[in-house]
Chains A and B, each alone.
Chain A
């Protein structure tokens, strides 16, 4: 099975900051990587699929990059509604998620 490791596990930032979250796969997964945002008590929301494709309706301040084993999610200018937990997910079965990165207000 492929293990997904996110870093950092938590992050404090301010509105307007540029933030980068990293996800590393235990073996190469090409670009088969998705990113989700989850707010407390809510279901995850798809942000990015296939490493860099923006899901319809997601603001353009979110972007994804990477291939092989190393991937990043970048938020170019943090907005108040972006404080949440972010998960990466790889697409070889069994599908697996990273442990999450909690983005908190500084």
Chain B
């Protein structure tokens, strides 16, 4: 059974950089059928897609965050990562990683990590 697990600091100071890693187990991140994505959810609010990355390194981002977001993938560790720079309190959220099936607009997120709460505060 595929499992995803987010890891990273739970507290980040304003103006600093948030860094998270998602470790995939029970399957290969190099599966050509899938991208790997990040979605966040501020406390008590809805879901926002951040971006997605392919095992080969191609990426796409939500334009609302693109200037601050970087994604990377490490196939040797079966991991992918997210960095978000210049964070503010508005970036406080539960961050989820997810497997992203991408096929001619018939996209969906079918496996999700449990989520990790990142709080931006001094």
Contact = CB atoms under 8 A, between A and B. Distances in A.
Contact of A100 (B46, B108, B113, B115): B46
Interface in B94-122: 96, 98, 101, 105-110, 112-115
Interface residues of B, number: 22
A49 B64 contact: no
Given A49-B106, A95-B107, A43 B47 contact: no
B60 A93 contact: yes
A42 B106 CA distance: 24
Contact of B109 (A30, A44, A93, A100): A44
A92 B48 contact: no
A94 B107 CA distance: 12
Contacts of A32: 105-107
A46 B106 contact: no
Contact of A91 (B47, B64, B107): B107
Nearest to A32: B105
A87 interface: yes
B62 interface: yes
Given A43-B113, A43-B115, A34 B108 contact: yes
A98 B96 CA distance: 17
Interface of A: 1, 30, 32, 34, 36, 42-46, 49-50, 55, 87, 89, 91-100
Interface of B: 46-49, 60-64, 96, 98, 101, 105-110, 112-115
